[in-house]
Amino acid sequence: MNINVIGVPLFYGCDRKGVDLSPNKLRENGIIKIIENHNHNVYDMGNIYVPEVSEEDKYAEHSKMKYLKEIVDVNKNLAHQVYTSISSGNFPLVIGGDHALGLGSLKGVNRKYSKLAVVWIDAHGDINTHETTPSGNIHGMPLAAAMGIGHENLTSLYYHGVNVDPENVFLIAARDLDEGETKIIKDNKINLYSTNNIKELGIEAIMKDVIDKLKAKDIDAVHLSFDIDCLDSNLVPGTGTPVGDGINISEGKYALKSLLETKLVCSLDFVELNTKLDSSDKTLNLCLDLIDWISEHL
Ligand SMILES: NC(=[NH2+])NCCC[C@H](N)C(=O)O
Ligand SMILES: [Mn+2]
Ligand SMILES: [Mn+2]
């Protein structure tokens, strides 16, 4: 497979430095070679440019969305990079950075595939809007925006077109949802598989259900967004918003493998590694192992 690796050194979405260093940190530790070892042609597209802005200006554009302008600018460029990657037959592997990059990757894929499903593997829903956010952090909003829910600047940042149908959205490993998010999930009939559901029924049964549903739908492709905080907080000290009672590594790998084996996945985000918070490269090494696993099954 031809894979475009696109780095997004963005921390504005989580408002916590360190996550911006990860694309280069992963390169220094051999991410490109790791992917190539699985017989892929890898094109390292470098990093999307992230403009500098001072802390005091973070609310300059909006009182409930920090760094709005910069995040929109970065994501417009990312969206186009993702769109052109897919259009030229290459698979975009987007490396974060924080999850606000989901805004751009989803817009880019959605422009190509109007009947798109999204699998969001994350402790969080990332389905807030400027009206529901408890933090003002835009990394908690990209999935809502992809469905056309939220502020206009986020919902149509790259093109005014079809949005993702909420019934084609699958949240997996969620366990830290805000009140507003729970309401949006219910009102829009989003498919929710909490960590409790996984513990109860087993990851195999959960993924079977997800994949059966995906196959029964009239969709063109699946976008997979993997936030490393889906894993239990003990496993990922190097992430900004860790949550306990999470899934373990083999459950995470099973979810990834079973989805990739469907061959429906057309693009993938890998986000929220913060190497500054890591303890003796534990999370970094786990991420390299997960990238190796993903590459094996792509
Ligand atoms: N991509 C993430 N790690 N998101 C965490 C979001 C946390 C919280 N729900 C918020 O909106 O601020
Ligand atoms: Mn997330
Ligand atoms: Mn998360």
**Cα 121 to averaged position of ligand 2 atoms, centre (Å):** 8
CA neighbor of 198 nearest in space, from 140, 142, 271, 123: 123
Mean pLDDT score across all residues of the chain: 98
Rounded to an integer, the average pLDDT of 21-30 is 98
- Residues at CB less than 6 angstroms from ligand 1: 99, 124, 126, 128, 133-135, 137, 139-140, 178, 227, 229, 241, 272
Q: Is the pLDDT of residue 143 over 90?
A: yes
Q: Which helix (H) or strand (E) holds 282?
A: helix 282-297
Which ipTM score applies to this complex?
0.97
> In which band, very low, low, confident or very high, does the pLDDT at 279 lie, cut at 50, 70 and 90?
confident
CA neighbor of 192 nearest in space, from 249, 181, 180: 181
State the pLDDT at residue 190. Answer: 98
3-state secondary structure (DSSP) of residue 174: strand
Please name the residue whose Cα sits nearest to atom 8 of ligand 1: 140
State the pLDDT at residue 160. Answer: 86
Ligand 1 pocket, mutate which of 66, 135, 181 (most atoms under 8 A from CB): 135
75 and 158 Cβ atoms separated by less than 8 Å: yes
Rounded to an integer, the average pLDDT of 8-31 is 98
**Cα 227 to averaged position of ligand 3 atoms, centre (Å):** 5
Task: Give ion ligand 2 contacts, CB < 5 A.
Answer: 99, 122, 124, 126, 227
3-state secondary structure (DSSP) of residue 247: strand
Please name the residue whose Cα sits nearest to atom 11 of ligand 1: 140
Please name the residue whose Cα sits nearest to atom 9 of ligand 1: 140
